[in-house]
Amino acid sequence: MSDITRDEVAHLARLARLDLPEEDLTHYAEQLDVILDAVAAVSQVAADDIPATSHPVPMANVFRDDVNRGCLDRDEVLSQAPAAEDGRFQVPRILDDEEPS
Amino acid sequence: MTEIVRMSATQLVEEMAQGNLSSVEITEAHLDRIDSVDGEIHAYLHVDRDGALATAAEADAARNTGADLPPLAGVPVALKDVMAMRGVPTTVGSRILDGWLPPYDATVVTQLRSNLMPILGKTNMDEFAMGSSTEYSAYGPTRNPWDTTRIPGGSGGGSAAALAAFEAPLAIGTDTGGSIRQPAAVTGTVGVKPTYGGVSRYGLVALASSLDQAGPCARTVRDAAMLHRAIAGYDPMDSTSIDAPVPDFVAAVREGDVRGMRIGLVTELSGDGYQAGVQQRFTEAVELLAGLGAEIVEVSCPNFTHALGAYYLILPSEASSNLAKFDGMRYGLRVSDGDEGVEQVMARTRAAGFGDEVKRRIMLGTYALSSGYYDAYYGQAQKVRTLVQRDFDAAFADCHVLISPTCPTTAFPLGEKVDDPLAMYLNDIATIPVNLAGNAALSMPVGLAPEDGLPVGLQIMAPHHQDARLYSVAGVLEGALEDRWGRPLIEEVGA
Amino acid sequence: MTAMVTVDDALTRYEPVIGLEVHVELGTVSKMFCGCPTTFGGEPNTQVCPVCLGLPGSLPVVNRAAIESTIRMGLALNCDIAEWCRFARKNYFYPDMPKDYQISQYDEPLCTDGYLDVTVPLADGGSEVVRVGIERVHMEEDTGKLTHTGGATGRIHGADYSLVDYNRAGIPLVEIVTKPVTGTGGLAPAVARAYVAALRDIMRSLGVSDVRMEEGSLRCDANVSLAPPGQPWGTRTETKNVNSLRSVERAVTFEIRRQAGVLDAGGHIVQETRHFHEDDGTTTPGRSKEEAEDYRYFPEPDLLPVAPDPAWVDELRTTLPELPAARRARLQEQWGISDFDMDSLINAGAVELVEATVAAGADQGAARKWWMGELSRAAKDRGVELAELGVTPADVARIADLVGQGTLNDKLARLVFEGVAAGEGSPDEVVAARGLELVSDDTALLAALDDAIAANEDAVAKIRDGKVQAAGAIIGAVMKATRGQADAARVRELLLERLGE
């Protein structure tokens, strides 16, 4: 089922925004392979009619009232930013091909 | 009089009530203890001396007015570094949050403050709570006070070691797959994973949202019950919080009784892979419970064998999403040479800021959620989760509580499994099913393994919302064990 | 680039299929998952908290009013309301998104399978009703706002860096997705526009959003594909962020023309997102999709399922106001006007404005006359919607009243409208400030009249000879002397009295 390749790891690293050197890609490919082998049995355990559980304690309909609560102090928030300007967070330039669709 | 730092929280409460000790004295004693031993143990990542003493003084002042105080007022507590605390460094054991000062308090912190409990500092942990040894902390490992060449468990090794080294009487932990219980087991302390939703997750830096649960760590069952009471309860800021009154766990300890109780031994959580001394002490504890009037029955939970696999798909999946926000844009580390695009800066920051295990799990989770693999991995793991829950339901239809060893072995040597992820994961085999199902569990010491003289933990598991049963059983068993030993096990530490 | 063809030419060979995804910011007091205010225009990053900033440890809690608004939207669009649904995380990295995932709904939307009947204006002045199927209505959260700094254009491309304001992050959005709209032929662009206009009107009448398009609170993505009649649907493009009614129509038109040109030349349509340019009405390709998006959706573990109680849904159903289509039928009946006149009002987007003007005390005839005449011309001149002209129904009612009282004539009224639209104040303030009131004081008129009589002896002689039409010259002179502020009828009366003496 697994046999994860170096290229797949490179793709995953890009999806996950991890800039990994070449040797790490190979290393992770091997390790992920071992782990996926160990967990692969999971995909054969449950029959189709078994429902999936996304929340461990079954509850529903938890809402809050539509009222305002306090906001944070902007100076305190921006004091934690790697870079800020004019009351805003400063971020590196966004290249054309990075825009979400 | 017993040395202050060796007193239980229950004793400290008593001494303050009698006017024999002030909170400032107690807090200073612990800060001094930290100064003298933490160089070796490294339980703390940050000590908040001024903040702790300020709260202590506030507690003393409140006591002097004769006001009605919360039960734990003035008793200091250590906080796992996974909890946001306003203006106090919160790293979650990671370089990527180096220097981050949260602008807000976690709900648990708010509760500790309103209970007038001085917060001594932030305890060490595996980075983003991924690990079972605290060796994956970006700030160096914590050592086990029983044997400093060994691990203190993880991810909450700092909180457990702080208790075992008498650097705090109480501590807060979080448990995603055993991060409270396994460190408790290997340090001879008590740790409780409440029912999911029993303690607010607001301000707990998420690892896996559907598995994470904060809970109390202590040296005695009664102390754990007191701390559990102090931090439990409904929080409107956490959608998954349980909206129900908090049971009186302390009364459950006091009135504990196992006579007529059916206790289930989980067949799948013993045998192969469990260390002989662990098995031996566990079996003795079971016999003790039987002697106290419990009916011991064997139960089978066949799907527990798949729990580890399901867990290591669900956890990385949720974690890969929860950890996306650490991108160097709004807080924490940013790595850039100044002329790169935002994608490259994010990728370099994350590569530099996250450790090996974190990157491994992020990629595993990204894989399990990606199109084409979702159904086979994440989707199937969520179905196995249903099967694990059904096993619990069936077992609890027959038994009041279930028991097992907390983990297969005693504390292993530092460095032994750090390069073998799978071996590390296997340490959580007995604790993981509870997180998948969301029910409650407690680990308590039941003796030292004869072969290595290290503590062995026993795990008690209860159904959803029945956390009080844990305390009933644990309180009775703790009393019987101490009668047998002549003193609490923790006094053996460093002996 | 391939040659463009005209729409009419394109439609001789291809059948367009369109689909619209509309995002609307809900008008709740607080954000989707936290208590921060949603007001527009606040100082940057002053309407943020740990939740909408996505700080580590923070958790979302669903705003009940956002759920109610979405259910009411779904009911108004004739949708089924899910008995059980969940939020999901849509994972992708972008600096305007604080958590690097968006809380949205994926395969379990709150509302599904509805429709909206849209009245589409026809070139001959009539109209046609087209039923647009609604695929789904779901909830999600808005992102922060990026400002691109440095570089020449202030655009994303070529900027040195960007600045982020997260005030908008977490504002509740409802996304309404149509089913593919087929068989509308050359009406497709008009259907797209009329659909968005109808959605906007419904949102407003439900009170779930004030839909200020100029503030970006309604954003539309338009999908267009072409295929020869009877053939399977073609490859579609998605034109993003088309943010006015006129732009929706233009973008769909442009894509039909562009795609027809490509297909005619034997090319194939690339599945891609495209950007719309307001200035010239064209679209250009956005990001190439060599690597398919993988959003890794999964159920949001921090939020619990939403399972609306049928009784709650029924209760919400009773809160639905009369929807625009029903109201229009009622108003046409009330006003007693023809289908043609009603269509004109609808096409001009003037129904609600006329209704409000009548409610403010004006006669329906006067209200229609001003909105469809002077004000429509002014809106067209400025390229804005009638409602965006800066003249309110109350203003129109007041001006109509002043005309009725004889304080203004039509010519002066036009100047008052101009002043109100220019922001000079209320009609009364404009009248006072510009001195536009008709001169009704006979003494002043008589003085001007005597001057005119003295200066126009010829005309006076003709009038005395019975050639009454010669009065025009004298009346004109009086009007000129009073800078148009005389009541011409009264001047005529006074002139004839004078000469009859």
DSSP strand pairing (C172-178 vs C15-25): antiparallel
User: Would A24 be classed as within a structural domain?
Assistant: yes
Domain total in chain A: 1
Residues 46-65 of C with CB under 8 A from B: 49-50, 53-62
Out of C411, C434, C457, a domain closes at C434
Residue range B2-268+282-297+394-492, CATH number: 3.90.1300.10
Residues C386 and C468 in one domain: no
Residues C303 and C352 in one domain: no
3-state secondary structure of C489: helix
Out of C380, C411, C434, a domain closes at C434
User: Would A36 be classed as within a structural domain?
Assistant: yes
Count Cβ neighbours within 10 Å for each residue of A55-79 and write b for 16 or more, e otherwise: bbbebebbbbebeeeebbebeebbe
Given the residues B8, B133, B159, B179, select the one marked as catalytic.
Answer: B179
Spatial strand order of the sheet with B214-218 comes to: B44-47, B119-123, B77-80, B170-174, B214-218, B190-193, B440-448, B455-462, B401-405, B262-266, B295-299
User: Would A35 be classed as within a structural domain?
Assistant: yes
Segment among A58-62, B109-113, B211-215, C437-441 with least mean pLDDT:
C437-441
Which residue range is the domain that position A28 belongs to? 6-45
Residues C479 and C394 in one domain: no
Q: Which residues of C touch B106 (CB under 8 A)?
A: 57
CB atoms inside a 10 Å sphere around CB C249: 22
Whether residue A1 is predicted with pLDDT greater than 50 in this model: the reply is: no
User: Would C318 be classed as within a structural domain?
Assistant: no
User: Would C1 be classed as within a structural domain?
Assistant: no
Given the residues B22, B23, B80, B417, select the one marked as catalytic.
Answer: B80
User: Would C203 be classed as within a structural domain?
Assistant: yes
- Say whether B236 and C59 touch across the interface (CB within 8 A): no
pLDDT confidence bin for C98, thresholds 50/70/90:
very high
pLDDT confidence bin for A71, thresholds 50/70/90:
very high
pLDDT confidence bin for A100, thresholds 50/70/90:
low
Residues C408 and C268 in one domain: no
Residues 263-282 of B with CB under 8 A from A: none
Residues C381 and C453 in one domain: no
Task: Give the whole-angstrom CA distance, residue B317 versus residue B189.
Answer: 31
> Taken in order B402, B405, B407, B411, is the CA torsion positive or negative?
positive
How many angstroms away from the CA of B384 is the closest CA of chain A?
A: 6
Q: Are C90 and C161 in contact (CB under 8 A)?
A: no
User: Would C319 be classed as within a structural domain?
Assistant: no
User: Would C315 be classed as within a structural domain?
Assistant: no
User: Would A71 be classed as within a structural domain?
Assistant: no
Residues C56 and C183 in one domain: yes
Q: Chain B residue with minimal CA distance to C103?
A: B321
How many CB contacts within 8 angstroms connect chain A with chain C? Answer: 142
How many angstroms away from the CA of A34 is the closest CA of chain C?
A: 23
Walk along chain B (495 residues) and give the pLDDT tens digit of each residue.
579 999 999 999 999 999 999 999 999 999 999 999 999 999 999 999 999 999 999 999 999 999 899 999 999 999 999 999 999 999 999 999 999 999 999 999 999 999 999 999 999 999 999 999 999 999 999 999 999 999 999 999 999 999 999 999 999 999 999 999 999 999 999 999 999 999 999 999 999 999 999 999 999 999 999 999 999 999 999 999 999 999 999 999 999 999 999 999 999 998 888 999 999 999 999 999 999 999 999 999 999 999 999 999 999 999 999 999 999 999 999 999 878 999 999 999 999 999 999 999 999 999 999 988 999 999 999 999 999 999 999 999 999 999 999 999 999 999 999 888 888 898 899 999 999 999 999 999 999 999 999 999 999 999 999 999 999 999 999 999 999 999 999 999 975
Residues C447 and C345 in one domain: no
User: Would C188 be classed as within a structural domain?
Assistant: yes
Residues C484 and C404 in one domain: no
User: Would C314 be classed as within a structural domain?
Assistant: no
Per-residue pLDDT, A2: 54
The more confidently predicted of residues C483 and C453 is C453
Per-residue pLDDT, C501: 57
User: Would A69 be classed as within a structural domain?
Assistant: no
pLDDT digits (tens, 9 = 90+) for B148-183: 999 999 999 999 999 999 999 999 999 999 999 999
Domain total in chain C: 3
Whether residue C288 is predicted with pLDDT greater than 80 in this model: the reply is: no
Task: Give the whole-angstrom CA distance, residue C261 versus residue C9.
Answer: 10
- The answer to whether A85 faces chain C, any CB pair under 8 Å, is yes
How many CB contacts within 8 angstroms connect chain B with chain C? Answer: 100
pLDDT digits (tens, 9 = 90+) for C145-182: 999 987 655 566 677 899 999 999 999 999 999 999 99
Which residue range is the domain that position C493 belongs to? 442-498
User: Would A32 be classed as within a structural domain?
Assistant: yes
> Taken in order C345, C348, C351, C353, is the CA torsion positive or negative?
negative
Q: Which residues of B touch C50 (CB under 8 A)?
A: 84, 102-104, 203
User: Would C173 be classed as within a structural domain?
Assistant: yes
Domain with CATH 3.90.1300.10 in chain B: 2-268+282-297+394-492
Tell me what the mean pLDDT of segment C362-371 comes to: 92
Q: Which residues of A touch C46 (CB under 8 A)?
A: 71, 74, 87
Residues C12 and C94 in one domain: yes
Whether residue C467 is predicted with pLDDT greater than 90 in this model: the reply is: no
pTM of the model: 0.87
Segment among B35-44, C114-123, C130-139 with least mean pLDDT:
C114-123
- Counting residues of chain C whose pLDDT is more than 70, the rounded percentage is 97
